Every structure is written in structure tokens, then in C-alpha cells.
């Protein structure tokens, strides 16, 4: 897998990083993508590749075993899903995510919309966050003790998780934060994940539930403003 940057971080979980188009090298926002092996199937979660010649694809070809399920935690992370679906069509690949994911696909025949609480083939479960529910849906892979977040929870350095959200700078916003948003994230702490796999930052590979609880006890985090 030399040159692909695809690394096995714990048995059965691989990750790699790519920078979305337009993102400066110094800017926060590089995408961490995941491949997981569960019950003889391969799960590709929020996977981003830089086109058909990305060396990560060769590494994934070697990893793929059994059926391929392409899981999208939020519509904005759909970008490479269709490319991967076509590549692994022979492996019964399908794409799963919020209904809005369909608006970002040119061919929806391989897509299945899922809502919070829906189980995917006994290998993954999507969860709702927000009230009303957001289009982002964290994904639980219980067999590997993992919980995957799109943008709601990020790792900002030193293994610290933070809740990525607009400033809570008014009484109305503070009430929403306390009464409507945080409780939906607290339900995920109850899942007691060993691993929190964030798509922005580095994954937390041990005591993930405790790291998530600490994040909920802090004020929301905002991305540093672009300079120049």
C-alpha cells in the first residue's frame, strides 16, 4: 500500500486522508476516510479519493472482501461515493445515507436512503442528531466498537474531541444548545464507543465514549477563520 496512505489503525479498520478541492494546506478540513471489515463485508465510510487514479483505490482493491457497503454520514460527504459504487459493483456495492445524498448522485439506482435508527445489513446503524433531525447521521459499527461522525464532532489536536457548531452567543442559542441539540449527542455517549472515528482530524482509538463526554462538557468549537 506504499504511496496510498491507507493504514490499518487497529485490526479491521483502515484510514487515509485527502484534502478536498480548494482547501489550503494549512487549513483545517482535510477528510479522514475509513474502510472497515465486518462479518466478511467491507464498509467504506465517508470515503474520499482523488479520482480514478488515486493510489488509495489500489489499496482498497486489496482490502475488499465480500459485499461492499458505502456509508455516507452527511450529504456533503457524497463526493466519491458514486465512483466507488461503480468500481465495486461486482461486489454488490450499494450507497447508504440520508435521503438528500440522492441529490448529489447522477445515478441513484445503487442508493438506499436511511434514517436515524435504521440498521444496514446488521453491520451498521445510522443515528439521528439535532431536533429537528439534521441531514448528518453518525454511524455506529458495533462489531468494532466504532462510532463515525461527519462534521458534528471533530478532533482538533492532541486527541481532543470538540463539537463543531456555530457560536452559542445568545440566550435563544444557549437554550437550543442545552435543550435540543446536546441531548441528541448525549444519547450517543450511551452507545459507549471504544473508538470515535472522525472525518476531520485523527480518530480516537480508545475510551472514545469518555472523549465524547468531555467534548459535550465544553463550549462549541469553530473552524479558525481563513487568512488572506
Q: For the chain, which residues make up each domain, given as ranges?
A: 7-216
Instruction: Using pLDDT thresholds of 50, 70 and 90, give the confidence band for residue 2.
Output: very low
Question: Hey, what's the torsion of the CAs at 208, 211, 216, 217, to 10 degrees?
Answer: 150
Query: Could you tell me which residues are beta bridge partners of residue 9?
Result: none
Please say if the pLDDT value at position 227 is more than 60: no
Instruction: Using pLDDT thresholds of 50, 70 and 90, give the confidence band for residue 141.
Output: very high
Please say if the pLDDT value at position 3 is more than 60: no
Any idea what DSSP says for residue 204?
A: B
Region of poorest pLDDT, from 17-21, 82-86, 138-142, 151-155: 17-21
pLDDT given at position 223? 79
pLDDT digits (tens, 9 = 90+) for 53-107: 999 999 999 999 899 999 999 999 999 999 999 999 999 999 999 999 999 999 9
Measuring CA to CA, which residue among 99, 61, 68 is closest to residue 85? Answer: 68
CA angle 125, 127, 129 (to 5 degrees): 170
In terms of CATH architecture, what is 7-216? 4-Layer Sandwich (3.60)
CA angle 203, 216, 78 (to 5 degrees): 50
- Grouping H, G, I as helix, E, B as strand and the rest as coil, residue 36 is strand
pLDDT given at position 143? 98
- Mean per-residue pLDDT over the chain, rounded: 93
Percent of the chain with pLDDT over 90: 87
For residues 186 and 76, the answer to whether their CB atoms sit within 8 Å is: no
C-alpha distances in Å from residue 87, one per residue of 66, 90, 220: 14, 8, 39
Q: Helices 208-216 and 182-189 sit at what angle, rounded to 10 degrees?
A: 160
Please say if the pLDDT value at position 224 is more than 80: no
pLDDT digits (tens, 9 = 90+) for 156-202: 988 999 999 999 999 999 999 999 999 999 999 999 999 999 999 99
Amino acid at each position: 500500500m506504499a504511496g496510498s496512505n491507507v493504514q490499518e489503525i487497529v485490526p479491521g479498520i483502515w484510514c487515509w486522508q485527502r484534502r478536498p478541492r480548494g482547501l489550503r494546506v494549512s487549513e483545517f478540513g482535510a477528510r479522514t476516510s475509513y474502510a472497515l471489515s465486518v462479518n466478511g463485508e467491507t464498509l467504506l465510510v465517508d470515503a474520499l479519493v482523488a479520482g480514478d487514479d488515486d493510489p488509495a483505490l489500489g489499496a482498497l482493491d486489496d482490502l475488499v472482501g465480500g459485499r461492499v457497503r458505502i456509508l455516507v454520514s452527511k450529504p456533503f460527504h457524497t463526493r466519491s461515493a458514486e465512483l466507488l459504487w461503480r468500481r465495486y459493483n461486482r461486489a454488490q456495492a450499494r450507497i447508504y445515507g440520508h435521503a438528500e445524498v440522492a441529490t448529489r448522485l447522477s445515478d441513484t439506482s445503487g442508493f438506499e436512503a436511511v434514517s436515524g435508527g435504521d440498521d444496514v445489513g446488521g453491520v451498521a446503524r445510522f443515528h439521528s442528531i439535532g431536533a429537528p433531525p439534521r441531514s448528518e447521521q453518525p454511524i455506529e459499527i458495533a462489531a468494532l466498537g466504532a462510532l463515525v461522525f461527519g462534521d458534528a464532532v471533530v478532533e482538533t489536536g492532541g486527541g481532543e474531541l470538540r463539537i463543531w457548531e456555530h457560536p452559542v452567543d445568545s440566550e435563544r442559542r444557549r437554550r437550543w444548545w442545552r435543550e435540543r441539540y446536546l441531548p441528541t449527542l448525549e444519547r450517543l455517549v450511551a452507545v459507549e464507543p471504544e473508538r470515535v472515528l472522525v472525518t476531520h482530524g485523527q480518530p480516537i482509538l480508545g475510551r472514545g465514549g469518555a472523549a465524547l463526554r468531555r467534548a459535550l462538557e465544553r463550549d462549541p468549537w469553530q473552524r479558525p477563520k481563513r487568512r488572506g
